[in-house]
Amino acid sequence: MSTAPTPAKPASASGAIVPPQQALADWMRHDYDELAASVASASAAQWERHNCRACLAGGLSEILDLGEMPPANSLLKPEDVSKPEPRFPLSLRLCTNCGMVQLGHVVPPSLLFRSYLFFTSMSRVMSEHFSNLMAHCSDEFVKPGGLVVEIGSNDGTGLSSIRRRDVRILGVDPARNVAVMAASRGVPTVSEFFNEPLAHEIARVAGPAHLIVACNVLGHINDLDDVCRGIQTLIARDGALVVEVPYLGDLLDRAEYDTIYHEHLSYFAVRPMAALLNRHGLRLERVEHFAVHGGTIRCTAIQGDGVSPQVQTWIDKENKANLSHPSAYEAFAKKVVQERTGLRQKLADYKARGLKVIGYGAPAKGTVVLNYCSIGVDLLPAVIDSTPAKQGWHVPGTHQPILPPLEMERQKPDVLLLLAWNHAQEIMERESAFRARGGKFITPHLQEL
Ligand code: JHZ
Ligand code: ZN
């Protein structure tokens, strides 16, 4: 039985567990108003960042410009579809000093992360992935009674999988709606941004952490030094840090431009990750590659300096590919433009042939594809998504209504544009009836599945 410390904040203002859908709706309303008000009073220059968030050097080079985009998860209520929407510049820059690829503009985090529409538990494959991570890493690093802290713990999927083990667990996630869900799964969750002061507070209440897990969250954080100082404050002398991030090499190889959006401020290669951790007294020991989310690296670090020989081979490979030089990104930028032309052409062809195409999945990346390629409701009238909290809302910018999977019957598409291509296997299994009657799946990256 876990004996986790009491979270600093209750799951709701009254301390009661609020039904997730209600909590979500409340927070969405709150955020939209806050977003609209703050954007109205700001200019793009206010969001710009000029130095590298991994090594702090100045002089970043632009490698891709995706134009002005609405925040990818700012779904619209039907009554807001005709109102002006906030848009922010979305351009990718490279630090030639350390090889860190990052966004040039920072949308205020409270506008992006206080209410969150991504739920880890929505995917069986991702739930299994995080349960495996927690099981292996807690076996390797945590003694009975030890503390596991997850930064960006979302709806508690990962931590709840080790809840009955002989370890203490604590989640940290600023999104109130997902913290409520985690609490209802028995995962105590501090609903705040993780930073150095919070790390001191956790260490004071609960003692040092033997395992700190941070999956798909470092890329979301502007002040990485603050977070790393927090990790160094909290981690036990013999503790480990396990970080997962989408891998820059995969982004480039497969032109996964749709994973570029305002929430993702950094696109990590191993070299800048190692350098960042080194500056904070952490030594990267192991890098493993997984296929999830279009290609992910799991980085395991311990207290110390330098990197292990295994990690050095990753860095050597990256140096050979010249990832710190803008020329390494030219082919990628060209491919992105070609994909846009190709996808628009393909959808126009289907339309001309009288075939109906709708989207499948309303992930953040779907907003990027639809907006960057200017795919409106004329080419793609709707998208399907199994997340109840997204259904009934509309895609930002391009305004497709988001419908539940049951609507497949009524929509009768001939082709599904798999916006959530990273869940292809799971979605194709779920929609096997569509395929059996001759339906076709295509991806924004012009694959036919
Ligand atoms: P999915 C997320 O990106 C969010 P997103 C986050 N910012 C991050 O860092 C990256 O991942 C790595 C739906 N779906 O996972 C559910 C179905 O409809 O690609 C989701 O809305 N049917 C933290 O937002 C969407 O697809 C299904 O069977 O791009 C998938 O979103 C399945 C499996 C999913 O996240
Ligand atoms: Zn740098």
73-89 pLDDT per residue, tens: 999 999 999 999 988 89
Q: Are 214 and 241 in contact (CB under 8 A)?
A: yes
- Is the pLDDT at 1 greater than 60? The verdict is no
Q: Which residue has the tokens 């793609």?
A: 380
Question: What is the number of the ligand 1 atom nearest to the C-alpha of 263?
Answer: 7
Q: Which residues of the chain does CATH 3.40.50.150 include?
A: 1-324
What residues contact residue 194 under an 8 Å CB cut-off, 6+ apart? 151, 152, 172, 227, 230
Q: Which residue has the tokens 């195409």?
A: 357
Q: Is 122 in the pocket of ligand 1 (CB under 6 A)?
A: yes
Phi, psi of 95 (to 5 degrees): -90, 115
Q: Is 129 in the pocket of ligand 1 (CB under 6 A)?
A: no
User: Rounded to 10 degrees, what is the CA torsion of 49, 32, 73, 441?
Assistant: -140
Q: Is 386 in the pocket of ligand 1 (CB under 6 A)?
A: yes
pLDDT computed for residue 117 by the predictor: 83
Ligand 1, from 122, 247, 266, 395: best to mutate by most atoms within 8 Å of Cβ?
Answer: 122
- Topology of 1-324 in CATH? Rossmann fold (3.40.50)
Measuring from atom 8 of ligand 1, which residue has the nearest CA?
Answer: 216
- Is the pLDDT at 43 greater than 70? The verdict is no
Output the CA 122–ligand 1 centroid distance in Å: 8
User: Can you list the pairs that 429-433 forms with residues at least 24 positions away whose Cβ atoms lie under 8 Å?
Assistant: 430/386, 430/405, 431/360, 431/405
Q: What is the mean pLDDT of residues 307-327?
A: 97
Model confidence at 36, pLDDT cuts 50, 70, 90, reads: low
- Is the pLDDT at 10 greater than 60? The verdict is no
- Is the pLDDT at 356 greater than 90? The verdict is yes
- Tell me how far apart the terminal alpha carbons of the chain are, to the nearest angstrom: 45
CA distances from 247 to 2, 128, 277, 434 (A): 33, 20, 16, 33
Convert the pLDDT of each residue in 173-211 to its tens digit: 999 889 999 999 999 999 999 999 999 999 999 999 999
Output the CA 135–ligand 1 centroid distance in Å: 23
Q: What is the mean pLDDT of residues 214-233?
A: 97
Question: What is the number of the ligand 1 atom nearest to the C-alpha of 360?
Answer: 18
pLDDT computed for residue 33 by the predictor: 53
Output the CA 55–ligand 2 centroid distance in Å: 4
Output the CA 423–ligand 1 centroid distance in Å: 8
Quote the radius of gyration of the chain (alpha carbons, Å).
Answer: 22
| Residue that wins the pLDDT comparison between 27 and 347 | 347
Q: What's the CATH number for 339-442?
A: 3.40.50.720
- Is the pLDDT at 152 greater than 70? The verdict is yes
Q: Is 294 in the pocket of ligand 1 (CB under 6 A)?
A: no
Q: What is the mean pLDDT of residues 364-377?
A: 98
Name the closest ligand to CA 275: 2
Q: Which residues of the chain does CATH 3.40.50.720 include?
A: 339-442
Q: What is the mean pLDDT of residues 375-404?
A: 97
pLDDT computed for residue 4 by the predictor: 37
Identity at 351, one-letter amino acid code: K
Model confidence at 42, pLDDT cuts 50, 70, 90, reads: low
Output the CA 420–ligand 1 centroid distance in Å: 6
- Is the pLDDT at 118 greater than 90? The verdict is no
- Is the pLDDT at 98 greater than 80? The verdict is yes
Name the closest ligand to CA 120: 1
Name the closest ligand to CA 246: 1
What is d(CA 215, CA 158) in angstroms, rounded to the nearest whole number? 10
Q: What is the mean pLDDT of residues 125-149?
A: 97
pLDDT computed for residue 164 by the predictor: 86
Q: What is the mean pLDDT of residues 169-174?
A: 96
Q: What is the mean pLDDT of residues 20-38?
A: 47
Output the CA 404–ligand 1 centroid distance in Å: 15
| Residue that wins the pLDDT comparison between 109 and 399 | 399
pLDDT computed for residue 34 by the predictor: 55
pLDDT computed for residue 11 by the predictor: 33
- Is the pLDDT at 8 greater than 80? The verdict is no
Name the closest ligand to CA 406: 1
pLDDT computed for residue 86 by the predictor: 85
Q: What is the mean pLDDT of residues 314-331?
A: 97
Measuring from atom 27 of ligand 1, which residue has the nearest CA?
Answer: 427
Q: Is 385 in the pocket of ligand 1 (CB under 6 A)?
A: yes
Q: Identify the three-state secondary structure at position 223.
A: coil
Question: What is the number of the ligand 1 atom nearest to the C-alpha of 125?
Answer: 33
pTM: 0.90
% of the chain surpassing 90 pLDDT: 84
Phi, psi of 399 (to 5 degrees): 75, 15
